[in-house]
Amino acid sequence: MTELPSGAAPPIVEAIGISKRYGPTIALADARLTVLPGESHALVGRNGAGKSTLVGILTGLRASDTGEVRFSGEPAPLISDREGWRQRVACVYQHSTIIPDLTVAENLFINRQPTERGFISWSTLRRKARELLDRWNVAVPEDMRAGDLRVEARQLVEIARALSYGARFIILDEPTAQLDGEEIKRLFVRIRELQAAGVTFLFISHHLQEVYEICQTVTVLRDARHIVTAPVADLPKDRLIEAMTGENVHLGVADAAGRVRDENAPVALTVEKLAGDDFADVSFTIRRGEVVGLSGSTSSGRVGVAEAIAGLGRFSAGAVRIGDKPLPSGDVPAALALGVGCVPKSRHKEGLVLSMPIADNTMMTVSHKLGPFGFIPPAKRSTLAHEAIRSLGVVTQGPDQLVSGLSGGNQQKVVMGRALANAPSVLVLMDPTAGVDVKSKEALLGVVERMRQEGKAILVVSSEVEDLRTCDRVLVMRHGSIVAEHKAGWTDNALVASIEGIEAQ
């Protein structure tokens, strides 16, 4: 089946008939993937479609039940032959595989440091690291502490390390998830350069726009199966989404433009001349039933403002009032008591206790008022958890499933459930759809719309155009202060230009 017309280069990687089961769950069923040398190939699919499993099989971290993987026409090495796999393929994960306390140079040659008479030669190590970084044009000092690298530089160091093993096929797992616009642009420039130098990329992303920007071919997985492989030029965005979801949909999110709103609804949140570490003199109000976006690049201070309102961060001057009650600085229990619900920026860092069940996670904010003397009656726990699972559409085995076993989108729904458990009057949502699939994104933004109709005041802190579309107005921050306000009905280009600070003035 790998017969090729003579003269054509064999695919750099070819996976045929790959199936993988985990107990009763089918993770991949007869999936296939063919990546030609020199192209950038996108692998897309909703959470749970089987992307991670396929990446695991392609990198030799797990064996498939059936099917075979071939690299440049050769059968894949044995699973035990880590060295062999490393020479053919590498994956740059979202989570860093760099050891932060070692230098860049040592990270590049970890466990294969050049030696002289059995001792590590640090000078040779530094020289070789410099050569490697220069060869691939990575502008990072080799003696820098790796933990101090920016995300983007860290990814390039990981790519350089993979290339130094001889691999010319690199898998990028959501490389842009933690980058802002400018950084993404720089990363894409480097990817194109590396591509020109003969490196092949498999690119995994939830941002379909990026797929069109950087890739030539796209493969879609859905429900563990291969759906389509086609040049991106032949697959417009709606057809791509259709292939991913299996339905003919466009993102079904309520657009705030044309929404009728009560202009005289009482003010639920007042932020007055608020100042803190990375923001100053920020003022705005949100009325009941109003959704306000707070946007800007990652370093604009938007997260600082949001965390101050949620009690997660401190403010040094100014005031936040919920209704007419002032909010103390940096006091989460007080914020909860005043009726502020919060989806924190990172679900893994502040959002969830992965080792605990869904029920405990959703109830964490309200555990003091479920039963007498702080006891949590099991019946009530079960009712509330089922209620949260149902109303948010969490795909799970039940309230006692550990959160660590959920997919990203479902985990984010649990974080949302935790924010809503308190029946808040003000909701602060930070990057509420970060790293979740199209369907979950739709569900989460649907919750925002439902909460708006219930009359909550909602602050959506994000730089995602799709998150912001549901907002009545979007405030844009730059260097710690609000610089622009866009009423619903803005065009994508105008808003993105404003966020990136490149609007024509």
Partner 1 sequence: MSTTPSTASPASPAIRNRSAVAMAGRIRDLALLPALIVLIVVGALVSPAFLTQANITTILTSCAALAMVVLAESLIIITGKFDLSLESTAGFAPAIGALIVLPVASNGFGLELPTIVGLLVVLAIGAIIGFINGFLIVRLQLNAFIVTLAMLIILRGMLVGATKGRTLFDLPDAFYALMIVTFLGIPLAVWLAALAFLIAGIVLKYHRLGRALYAIGGNPEAARAAGIRVERVIWGVYILGGVLAAVGGLFITGYVGAISANQGNGMIFTVFAAAVIGGISLDGGKGTMFGALTGVLLLGVVQNLLTLAQVPSFWIQAIYGTIILGALMVARLTSGAPQT
Question: Could you list the residues that contact partner 1 (CB under 8 A)?
Answer: 22-27, 45-53, 93-94, 173-174, 177, 223-224, 310-312, 332-333, 335-336, 342, 344, 349-356, 360, 363-365, 367-368, 370, 373-378, 395-401, 405-408, 410, 418, 435, 437
Nearer to partner 1 by C-beta: 51 or 469?
A: 51
How far is it, in rounded angstroms, from Cα 92 to Cα 384?
Answer: 40
Shortest distance, position 475 Cβ to partner 1, whole Å: 23
Residue 229 tokens read as: 């492989």
CA count, 13 A, side-chain hemisphere, 423 = 2
* Closer residue to partner 1, CB minimum distance, 230 or 356: 356
Q: Look-up: residue for tokens 């008939």? A: 17
DSSP per position, 302-328: HHHHHHHHHTSS--SEEEEEETTEEPP
Nearer to partner 1, 289 or 344 (CB): 344
CB of 47 to partner 1, least distance (A): 4
Check: CB of residue 351 under 8 Å from CB of residue 364. no
Closer of 108 and 336 to partner 1 (Cβ): 336
CA pair distance 29, 49, nearest whole angstrom: 10
Q: How far is the CB of 500 from partner 1 (least distance, A)?
A: 26
Nearer to partner 1, 93 or 165 (CB): 93
State the helix-helix crossing angle for 181-196 and 492-500, rounded to 10 degrees.
90
* Distances in whole angstroms, Cα of residue 323 to Cα of each of 207, 266, 320, 336, 339: 37, 8, 10, 13, 9
Of 44 and 140, nearer to partner 1 (C-beta) is 44
Please give the Cα distance from 159 to 136 (Å, whole number). Answer: 9
Give whichever of 5 and 24 is closer to partner 1, judged by the CB atom: 24
Q: Smaller CB distance to partner 1: residue 396 or 498?
A: 396
Q: How far is the CB of 20 from partner 1 (least distance, A)?
A: 8
Q: CB of 88 within 8 A of CB of 167? A: yes
Amino acid at 171: I
Minimum CB separation of residue 239 from partner 1 in Å reads 22
Residue 28 vs 104, nearer CB to partner 1? 28
Nearer to partner 1, 191 or 224 (CB): 224
Question: At its nearest, how many Å lie between partner 1 and the CB of residue 364?
Answer: 4
The pair of structure tokens assigned to 195 is 């591509």
- For the bound state, the minimum distance from the C-beta of residue 227 to partner 1, rounded and expressed in Å, comes to 13
Q: Of the candidates 323, 404, 307, 421, which has an alpha carbon nearest to the alpha carbon of residue 358?
A: 404
Cβ 234 to partner 1, closest distance in Å? Answer: 25
Instruction: Please report how close the Cβ of residue 443 comes to partner 1 at its closest, in angstroms.
Output: 13
CA gap 156, 49 in Å, rounded: 27
At 136, list the tokens. Answer: 């691939």
Nearest to 441 by CA among 414, 405, 406, 467: 467
N-term to C-term CA, the chain:
59
Angle at 129 between CA 126 and CA 133, to 5 degrees: 140
Least Cβ distance, residue 70 to partner 1 (angstroms): 23
Alpha-carbon distances of 119 from 123, 165, 263, 394, rounded to whole Å:
12, 22, 74, 54
